[in-house]
Amino acid sequence: MIAPIIILGGIYGGFMTPTEAAAVSVAYTIPVGIWFYRGLDKKNFLAGMVKAGTTAGVVMIMLMSVMMLSRLYVMENLPQMILDAMTAISSNPAVLTLMLNLFLILIGMLMDDTSAILLTTPILLPVAMGIGIHPVHFAAIVGVNLGLGGVTPPTAPFLYLGSRIGNAPINEMLGPTMYFIFFAWIPTLVLTTYIPGLSLWLPRLLGYV
């Protein structure tokens, strides 16, 4: 019960970065698992360390590959090519923004959020600025789109991860998830996309915009 307080309190309180909060929470949970719950011993601790190291290595290699691909796209002037293709279809900013949203949802369905951000931001930020979207507003659009894509079937990486963690059958989760998508995520995406003030009022209040 204290671990969420350490993580969320440390991050939102401004005391720690997410990485630091993760490290502190691990340092807290290890002795709790050993001496309080008595479920952590030498054998499963070493197995957990090996699994964590393997996962971290896979993630690092994946991120390196994504960053290389993103840099290659930028060097090949892909953002301008995308902008030219979109404006050839329509010059209406609302239509262009809708096309950006559909692209981001598709990316969110296929990739994890970190890889998707590293891949799409260098490519799509110049496109978004080219049609008059503020960078802070674009960041909010990206966040909502990738979150929506992560829970949208058929791929839905976040949905399958939640199913595995919660030990819940995926077919039982689909119905409530679709309600959540249609009545929460999509309205949030529409409001975030077409009412820039929702994303910009706090940065403006703090003087960052």
Residue 118, pLDDT above cutoff 90? no
Nearest to 69 by CA among 123, 1, 12: 123
Tally Cβ neighbours within 10 Å of residue 173.
19
Q: What gap in Å lies between CA 190 and CA 145, rounded to an integer?
A: 10
Q: For residue 133, give the H/E element and its range.
A: none
Question: What mean pLDDT is predicted for residues 180-196?
Answer: 92
Q: What is the pLDDT of residue 138?
A: 94
Q: What gap in Å lies between CA 71 and CA 173, rounded to an integer?
A: 38
Residue 103, pLDDT above cutoff 90? no
Contacts of 84 (CB under 8 A, 6+ apart): none
Q: What gap in Å lies between CA 190 and CA 101, rounded to an integer?
A: 10
Output the CA torsion 121→138→114→184 (10° steps): -150
Residue 161, pLDDT above cutoff 90? no
Residue 125, pLDDT above cutoff 80? yes
Q: What gap in Å lies between CA 96 and CA 99, rounded to an integer?
A: 5
Question: What mean pLDDT is predicted for residues 39-59?
Answer: 84
Q: What gap in Å lies between CA 204 and CA 185, rounded to an integer?
A: 25
Contact indicator for 120, 107 with CB cutoff of 8 Å: yes
